[in-house]
Structure 1
Amino acid sequence: MQDELNLILEDAKETMQHSISHLETELTKIRAGKANTQILDGIYVDYYGAPTALNQVANVSVADARTLTIQPWEKNMLQPIERAIIASNIGLNPQNDGIIIRLFLPPLTEERRKELVKKVNGEGEHGKVAIRNIRRDAIESIKKLQKDGLSEDTAKDAEADVQELTDKFIQIIDKHCAAKDKEIMAI
């Protein structure tokens, strides 16, 4: 019984860590005014009929603090890349000069900064919901063990451990969101 309990706690911790990793990835995609190639992660281009990641059909680089350049390995990929960027709805208009595509990141207005902060807090809330769902699943597993003969005191202690883990990971989410908010609001 104790082994199964430890397995439930370890699984919950590992899954919560995955949620934090996912949140960190999503937060890097939210631009804070400076060019970052990760903004383009998750954009897929139609490459001969197959959806392919943008960084697998072109060289993506940071030209300066406010400009990203995308140089396709095949010249005929300029139009599909341009369409994919527009369709991705990241708020950037590609500039195609026939050789490379440039993305100019406009300076952030106060209004845009506030929108980005809302987006950050929304991602944080998604992370918290994921953590709470993991907590719920772990507690359900503990209750099943209790029905199979685990003592009530041991089950209550395990539930307290799960709640402690949940609180710890929610604090981590809050710290990540606060740091990103600060980064976005810095002028």
Structure 2
Amino acid sequence: MPKKSKLLSLVMSIVLLFSVAFIPMGVASAEEELSEEDLELIELLTAIENMPDEIILQGEDAIKAHIESEVSFHLELNENGESVVFRAASVSSIAGCVGAVGTALVVNFTPAKILKIKSALKSVGGATKFVKAVKPYYQMSREDKLSKTASLNQAVRLAAKDAGPDTREALLDLFGVSSVVGSCAAAFGN
């Protein structure tokens, strides 16, 4: 093997070794173990992601029934369309976020929009990957002194950065509902 090839091979090996050894801390933090609260949000988003199209096309009652059959909590809507979440597990700030997302989905979105949200969750790698990415991006945005709304919008955009514009828009629509912003901001950080 010529000297130049050996040298090039050695340099490339060193570069590869250093790139793996020194992964940026922001990337490593996205791989941290998920809390029970994060898992509850993932549970709801997974129910949306895996919802059969025929159920979505049946409308609000079928969507609500499907969500309730797939998650470990009961979602009720009062006369004002606001969510009342009955939890089997401990009540936390994420409970408000989960309830707000569930209510927004059932009350605020047409079947066509829900199909886009479902597709968007799949295209960003699924609910787990999405939640793992949103939380640190949200916290980073808040540290940069952005408002809760701007931080959540930026976090969703960054978490869906590899997806197309329609995907980002569908997720921004879901997480842009004012009740979702208010509830999820507390769940993702400050």
Q: TM-score, normalised by structure 2?
A: 0.27
Whose strand fraction is larger, Structure 1's or Structure 2's?
A: 1
Which has the higher Rg, Structure 1 or Structure 2? 1
